[in-house]
Structure 1
Amino acid sequence: MRDYEFSSASPSLSPALSSPCTPLHSRVESWSRATGHKAEVLIRVQGKCFHLHKDALTSRSTYLKRQLTDFVSDFALPLNISAETFTLVAEFCYGAHLVITLLNLAALRTAAELLEMTESNCDGDDNLLHLTDTYFRQVVAVNRDYASVVFRSCLSLLPEAETAAFLVSGCIEAFALSNDGDGGADWLNEVITVRPEDFQIVAEAIQRSFGNHDVVYKLVDLYIVRYNEKITEDEKTQICSSIDCSKLSPQVLLDAVQNPIMPLRFIVRAMLIEQLNTRRTIISAAAAAVAADHTQIQPHDHHDNKKSIEPTGEATTLGSLLQRDTMIRQSAQLRATMAATSSRIQSLEEELNGMKKLLDECHEKQENSILLEDGRRSASFHYGTNENSNKITKGDKASASSASFRILSGKGSAERSEGTSNWSSSCKGTPRSTKKISERLINGLKKAFRVSGSAKEAASKDKIIRFDPFEAQCLLITIP
């Protein structure tokens, strides 16, 4: 590593502040002896207490000048600054020579921005903000390896390292200015370790540093692949919102359309941009072809017809071939895009059909369970018998399978339903027709249920069948 004016061995920060051996404690004691004033301000930083002089701090920090008024003697620092970093800042306020390294640059630069350390002392020394900015421009911005070290140290200081100090953007610009053609692909693995809320800040910094968004898309793709099962669909959509599809190259845009891990909303947006780009290309190619044809038919002077026609014809023919090749490539690209789109839509339709099938199966199971319960509660058989017999013969077992028959005795004929009264009264008035109808019905029932011969004779001699067209029931009534 080259030696710079800013860098040397970093001082040890491990001893406790209360120890008399610490450089800060020694400087505070020296300041007290020189001014005759003891430390009157207690500043708390991440659980550590610093007894310091108000004049020493306010002479360098505009932020502390606003906070440490005459009525404030105990102040808890609410900023994203560690106790070790504040120790270095306090030493700098007491006039110590500050040692800036690659490892503490991000913390010091962020602290300088948050504390607004833009004030110079009476000796004309530079302020902390200017020192850190100079170190970054002269050492980090010109060396990609150094920029990678600073970039990693910035990740733990987000979002202040970018929103206040713009260190992430500076490191990414250093990557972009490097001579490598991969666009800084090795540091992408470092970026994907950030949290989803901080990732948005890094993505926006990359947007400002690169002309297109190919690197942003690659970064988002790596991040979603790594945390696909740990982030929600809304977080994926929020992360993908940092990509401007109109700034993607054609190859990357085609890959985005075919990427299955991307959220559906982003894929639809990429498809629309792809269609718009293809349409613009076709329109521009057609306009160029029309302009070439218009140039070809312009009148020429009679004296140089022979000299000018042949070269113009060759140029026009070559231009037409180039236009044709361009149209063929664009058509092939359009077909590939449409095929990818159709494949994506087909996969989505298959998923929807599968979900619909599962819903239909659930509804079918529910309906089957309801039908089974209704079948258990279906209408049973009701039989009325004579005084001498209350059992069903074997020949009548077949007829017992019908759920719409009632057998009533002669004495209980008064209990038959009201819906059959009209039909039964008409049958009593015409006994011959009643017998014919009953015989026909009995014969039909015999054939349908294969009743035995003995049962047939008993049914024809002793019983009359009445049919109720409204209740769809046949009543077997014993003749008294």
Structure 2
Amino acid sequence: MKPWGNLGVVETIYEDEVYDDDDDDDDNSSNSPSLLSSPPSPLHSSAQAWSSAMGCKTDVLIHVQGTAFHLHKDPLISRSTYLRRKLTEKSELTLSPPLNITAETFSLVVDFCYGTHLLVTPFNVASLLVAADLLGMTEAKGEDDSNLKQMTENYFQKFIAVNGKYAAIVFKSCLALLPEAETTSFLVSRCVEVMNLTEDSKGLDGYFDDVISLRADDFKIVAESMHQRFEYQDLLYRIVDFYLEEHNAKITEEQKTQICNSIDCNKLSPQLLLHAVQNPRMPLRFVVRAMLVEQLNTRRSILSAANHQYYPRRHRPTNSNNEDDDNSNVTLGEILQRDATKRETAQLKAAMDATSSRIQTLDKQLLCMKKLLQESDHENVIERSGGGCRDVLESGRSASFHYGSGRKIERAYNGAPASASFRFSGGLEERALGCSSSENSGIKKNIGQRLIKGLKCALQPKIALITRKV
């Protein structure tokens, strides 16, 4: 029995040709039973040719999305490490999630295992790339042979990576394959990168509509991949802003923060950095980080202008032989000024890190305050349903910012303006009964306003310090 690798290649009969030869297909299907529960396909002829050449029948059964594939074990385990591991001791297997592989894609994969000529297109390259990674089809049988992963990756580099229209097709097809499409092959971020290089910025807006349908977890994975691939992140900021605009009320603050952490404010243009500082959709932590980066950039610009004003560069000779003399033209004052600038920049970065840490602490305290308010509202509803309504105590609306006689919100300073914190004191059980929803919302709004004022007071000394240094 000759090895199956020496068999001739069976040409694939593609779907568009099947519709043209319906009569021929009917005759072939009537002569032999189908190997699939679905209508005859190119896979049928491949498996039949293998059976005829090797003189053996199918010995494994694989289920994919309700479709049963009767196949031969040898060609499958020789190409796929996953199938080799699963079919070693059993002859029946079901490919189900988390393996994101459709029956149509698996049919193409099996064709490749049988040695059939595989037609890769922009419409199926994404699914084939994902399937090759999930099934472990990364091994070649010989020096002149190529595995499915290598073949599809070469196609992507040769045709998709240089054509924005093809990249748009792949982009839409791989959205349904998330998160595997991004975690295995970075397909979404790569397609966006290609479209950004080949299309104008306005042309990309039409593709942003497809991003709206993504879940927050999937979008976070895509944003993190784009963060790693993009040298300048203006496009990433626009995509994140567009997503938050559509999902602002559907995702939590923690999810917003995780998504925005993928944006490096140091890689934003000055225009978008200013937009980020004034963007109400962005979480507070990101806005503060953008504000500090903007202050740092402003300081650098001022120092650079001052250096040029007080220490103008001397005229350099055009002769290239005098390049060694340029370094000797630097004065001691320029060197001292440069060193001072580096020290001040390091101090400012340290202040930014300290402020960011303080912002995280304030975020945690804010979450605690929200939880206490929710618990208080829940108790109020229970008490109101059990005992009748009463008038709201006037002290609940007073400027001293406390509920009833026992619930207070105090503000403490731990030695520095940036260490402002808030705490609740008093029992929740002493809150007056019968608070209306409108009054509760007014109290919550008052809390939010005071918290923002406190945060501004905490950050004001840092900004004032930066301004004085500038």
- Give the TM-score normalised by structure 2: 0.58
> Which amino acid is the alignment partner of residue 74 of structure 1?
E
Asked whether the 8 Å contact 1:18–1:25 carries over to 2, the reply is no
User: What secondary structure, in the 3-state scheme, does the structure 2 residue paired with 1:184 have?
Assistant: helix
Asked whether the 8 Å contact 2:37–2:67 carries over to 1, the reply is no
Other-structure match for 2:54: 35
> Which amino acid is the alignment partner of residue 68 of structure 1?
L
2:140 is equivalent to residue 140 of structure 1? no
Asked whether the 8 Å contact 1:7–1:100 carries over to 2, the reply is no
CA distance, structure 2, for counterparts of residue 262 and residue 74 of structure 1: 51
Asked whether the 8 Å contact 2:13–2:42 carries over to 1, the reply is no
Q: In the TM superposition, what is the alpha-carbon distance from 1:130 to its structure 2 partner?
A: 2.7
Pick the aligned partner of 2:230 from 186, 210, 229.
Answer: 210
Pick the aligned partner of 1:283 from 303, 315, 318.
Answer: 303
Other-structure match for 1:50: 69
Name the CA shift for 1:65/1:361 in 2 (closer, same or farther; >3 Å). closer
Other-structure match for 2:322: none
Name the CA shift for 1:20/1:146 in 2 (closer, same or farther; >3 Å). closer
CA distance, structure 2, for counterparts of residue 153 and residue 122 of structure 1: 32
Name the CA shift for 1:125/1:8 in 2 (closer, same or farther; >3 Å). farther
Other-structure match for 1:223: 243
The C-alpha deviation readout for 1:446-473, integer Å capped at 9, x for no partner, is xxxxxxxxxxxxxxxxxxxxxxxxxxxx
CA distance, structure 1, for counterparts of residue 143 and residue 305 of structure 2: 68
The equivalences for 1:292-311 within 5 A come to: 292=312
**Cα-Cα RMSD:** 3.5
Other-structure match for 1:263: 283
2:93 is equivalent to residue 75 of structure 1? yes
The equivalences for 1:244-393 within 5 A come to: 244-292=264-312, 357=398, 363=404
> Which amino acid is the alignment partner of residue 363 of structure 1?
G
CA distance, structure 2, for counterparts of residue 209 and residue 195 of structure 1: 21
> Which amino acid is the alignment partner of residue 53 of structure 1?
H
CA distance, structure 1, for counterparts of residue 131 and residue 142 of structure 2: 22
CA distance, structure 2, for counterparts of residue 264 and residue 24 of structure 1: 56
Asked whether the 8 Å contact 2:75–2:114 carries over to 1, the reply is yes
CA distance, structure 1, for counterparts of residue 212 and residue 274 of structure 2: 23
2:42 is equivalent to residue 23 of structure 1? yes
CA distance, structure 1, for counterparts of residue 171 and residue 291 of structure 2: 34
Q: In the TM superposition, what is the alpha-carbon distance from 1:18 to its structure 2 partner?
A: 2.7
- Give the TM-score normalised by structure 1: 0.57
CA distance, structure 2, for counterparts of residue 96 and residue 171 of structure 1: 28
User: What secondary structure, in the 3-state scheme, does the structure 2 residue paired with 1:59 have?
Assistant: helix
The C-alpha deviation readout for 1:99-147, integer Å capped at 9, x for no partner, is 2222111101111122222344679554322321232222222211111
2:80 is equivalent to residue 61 of structure 1? yes
CA distance, structure 2, for counterparts of residue 189 and residue 20 of structure 1: 36
The C-alpha deviation readout for 1:228-278, integer Å capped at 9, x for no partner, is 111111111111111111111111111111111211111111111111111
Asked whether the 8 Å contact 1:105–1:150 carries over to 2, the reply is yes
Q: In the TM superposition, what is the alpha-carbon distance from 1:25 to its structure 2 partner?
A: 3.0
Name the CA shift for 1:186/1:20 in 2 (closer, same or farther; >3 Å). closer
> Which amino acid is the alignment partner of residue 91 of structure 2?
S
Pick the aligned partner of 1:116 from 127, 133, 136.
Answer: 136
User: What secondary structure, in the 3-state scheme, does the structure 2 residue paired with 1:192 have?
Assistant: helix
Q: In the TM superposition, what is the alpha-carbon distance from 1:90 to its structure 2 partner?
A: 0.9
The C-alpha deviation readout for 1:63-118, integer Å capped at 9, x for no partner, is 3223321x222223352211211111112212222122221111011111222223
Name the CA shift for 1:11/1:127 in 2 (closer, same or farther; >3 Å). farther
CA distance, structure 1, for counterparts of residue 191 and residue 13 of structure 2: 19
Structure number with larger C-alpha Rg: 1
CA distance, structure 2, for counterparts of residue 114 and residue 365 of structure 1: 60
Other-structure match for 1:189: 209
User: What secondary structure, in the 3-state scheme, does the structure 1 residue paired with 2:200 have?
Assistant: coil
Aligned residue pairs total 305
CA distance, structure 2, for counterparts of residue 95 and residue 276 of structure 1: 60
Asked whether the 8 Å contact 1:16–1:22 carries over to 2, the reply is no
> Which amino acid is the alignment partner of residue 147 of structure 1?
A
Q: In the TM superposition, what is the alpha-carbon distance from 1:356 to its structure 2 partner?
A: 6.7
Name the CA shift for 1:260/1:173 in 2 (closer, same or farther; >3 Å). closer
> Which amino acid is the alignment partner of residue 127 of structure 1?
N
User: What secondary structure, in the 3-state scheme, does the structure 2 residue paired with 1:66 have?
Assistant: helix
The C-alpha deviation readout for 1:374-425, integer Å capped at 9, x for no partner, is xxxxxxxxxxxxxxxxxxxxxxxxxxxxxxxxxxxxxxxxxxxxxxxxxxxx
CA distance, structure 2, for counterparts of residue 202 and residue 27 of structure 1: 38
User: What secondary structure, in the 3-state scheme, does the structure 1 residue paired with 2:63 have?
Assistant: strand
> Which amino acid is the alignment partner of residue 90 of structure 2?
V
Q: In the TM superposition, what is the alpha-carbon distance from 1:171 to its structure 2 partner?
A: 1.0
Pick the aligned partner of 1:152 from 126, 147, 172.
Answer: 172
Q: In the TM superposition, what is the alpha-carbon distance from 1:214 to its structure 2 partner?
A: 1.1
> Which amino acid is the alignment partner of residue 18 of structure 1?
S
Name the CA shift for 1:238/1:179 in 2 (closer, same or farther; >3 Å). closer
Other-structure match for 1:234: 254
Name the CA shift for 1:205/1:280 in 2 (closer, same or farther; >3 Å). same
CA distance, structure 2, for counterparts of residue 363 and residue 55 of structure 1: 78
Name the CA shift for 1:356/1:148 in 2 (closer, same or farther; >3 Å). farther
Name the CA shift for 1:27/1:229 in 2 (closer, same or farther; >3 Å). same
CA distance, structure 1, for counterparts of residue 120 and residue 203 of structure 2: 28
> Which amino acid is the alignment partner of residue 291 of structure 2?
M
CA distance, structure 2, for counterparts of residue 61 and residue 159 of structure 1: 22
The C-alpha deviation readout for 1:317-368, integer Å capped at 9, x for no partner, is xxxxxxxxxxxxxxxxxxxxxxxxxxxxxxx9xxxxxx97599585289999
CA distance, structure 1, for counterparts of residue 76 and residue 270 of structure 2: 55
CA distance, structure 1, for counterparts of residue 57 and residue 13 of structure 2: 33
Asked whether the 8 Å contact 2:46–2:111 carries over to 1, the reply is yes
Q: In the TM superposition, what is the alpha-carbon distance from 1:224 to its structure 2 partner?
A: 0.7
Asked whether the 8 Å contact 1:57–1:65 carries over to 2, the reply is yes
> Which amino acid is the alignment partner of residue 82 of structure 1?
T
Pick the aligned partner of 1:201 from 202, 207, 221.
Answer: 221
The C-alpha deviation readout for 1:212-233, integer Å capped at 9, x for no partner, is 2111111111111101111111
> Any stretches of 5+ residues in structure 1 without a counterpart?
1-5, 297-347, 349-354, 371-480
CA distance, structure 2, for counterparts of residue 195 and residue 121 of structure 1: 39
CA distance, structure 1, for counterparts of residue 397 and residue 45 of structure 2: 77
> Which amino acid is the alignment partner of residue 168 of structure 1?
V
CA distance, structure 1, for counterparts of residue 431 and residue 182 of structure 2: 63
Other-structure match for 2:200: 180
